[in-house]
Amino acid sequence: MLRYIGRRVLILIPTLAAISIVTFVVIQLPPGDYLTTLTAQRASQGDGVPTGEIARLTERYGLDKPVIVQYWQWISAILFHGDFGESFDYARPVSALLAERLPLTIALSLVTLVFIWAVSFPIGVYSAIRQYSVGDYTFTFFGYLGLAVPNFLIALVLMWVGLQFFDLNAGGILSPEYRDAPWSLAKLGDLAAHLWIPIVIWGTAGTAGNIRVLRANLLDELRKPYVVAARARGMPERKMTIMYPVRVAMNPFFSTIGWVLPGLIAADAITSKVLNLQTTGPLMLRALLAQDMYLAGAILLISAVLVVLGTLVSDIALGWLDPRVRLRY
């Protein structure tokens, strides 16, 4: 097992390096460099950039040096000082902006993950065991629906329904009256009342996908000879199903860790925007639209790194769960 983890971690290093390069390329993609963008933007607002500022920024990002050096200055600042650069749009350090929004984002992601698991596990198992039952068809249909409806559309519809029929403002994370209030039970309740909407919205696609995979896997497993053999030795059906086939079919659950967490950091920018949530998604969106590339790049980098770490965690979980994976290395 340790060897297995060791190997995984070792593979991580070149992957992370490659990811940082890709991110840097993305940062460099828009025409012109940071300074020209900045100058253009300030100019459009009617004020210029002081020369001292220009010199400082040129020095800070190595803008007059070769691209390789620029990359090194960028990545070493991140690695050694946690300095992701500066957002000219907000005129603040990127790391400060992230610090404001990351905690909520991560908390939401974790809750969403739990939601996905809690919903898809029983439904997936049920659908496989009662294949072609009314329940199976119903769940399958809703599963497909969940995959087919874009998240932002669900968000829009929910908000519209809330506004139209219940006179509710589903957007945001807290009702206006609690926004500056000290923490209390009532505020917590209000938080919960608002939070379920984004969680359900984010959860749908993941849940639908998980149900589909779990059902298909379990159906395959249920046809394996060891199931008949276990039945033949008198295992009670329920216990047998959980212990043997379900355990094998569970694998996709662990791969969800890999993408749910980081996915939300940036992927659901659109829904977050519709729902007016203070997560990192809308931040990235705005940064991209304004071509505020250090900010956008930082978010991209963080989410990619989280995917890699998430995959590591899910691989380790898989290795722990599945001896075939563990013992192969």
Residues of this chain, 204-263, that bind another protein according to CB under 8 A: 223-226, 228-237, 243-244, 247-248, 259, 262-263
Q: Give me the least distance between CB of 285 and another protein, in Å please.
A: 6
Closer to another protein at the Cβ: 54 or 285?
285
User: Stretches 75-83, 93-101, 102-110, 269-277: which one binds another protein (CB under 8 A)?
Assistant: 269-277
3-state secondary structure the chain: CHHHHHHHHHHHHHHHHHHHHHHHHHHHCCCCCHHHHHHHHHHHCCCCCCHHHHHHHHHHHCCCCCHHHHHHHHHHHHHHHCCCCEECCCCEEHHHHHHHHHHHHHHHHHHHHHHHHHHHHHHHHHHHHCCCCHHHHHHHHHHHHHHHCCHHHHHHHHHHHHHHHCCCCCCCCCCHHHCCCCCCHHHHHHHHHHHHHHHHHHHHHHHHHHHHHHHHHHHHHHCCHHHHHHHHCCCCHHHHHHHHHHHHHCHHHHHHHHHHHHHHHHCCHHHHHHHCCCCHHHHHHHHHHCCCHHHHHHHHHHHHHHHHHHHHHHHHHHHHHCHHHHHHC
Q: Give me the least distance between CB of 48 and another protein, in Å please.
A: 23
Residues of this chain, 62-101, that bind another protein according to CB under 8 A: none
Residues of this chain, 159-188, that bind another protein according to CB under 8 A: 159-160, 163-164, 171
User: Stretches 49-57, 69-77, 83-91, 300-308: which one binds another protein (CB under 8 A)?
Assistant: 300-308
Closer to another protein at the Cβ: 145 or 181?
145
User: Stretches 46-54, 69-77, 178-186, 316-324: which one binds another protein (CB under 8 A)?
Assistant: 316-324
Q: Give me the least distance between CB of 291 and another protein, in Å please.
A: 6
Closer to another protein at the Cβ: 15 or 54?
15
Site size for another protein (CB under 8 A): 73
Closer to another protein at the Cβ: 75 or 270?
270
User: Stretches 47-55, 85-93, 96-104, 140-148: which one binds another protein (CB under 8 A)?
Assistant: 140-148
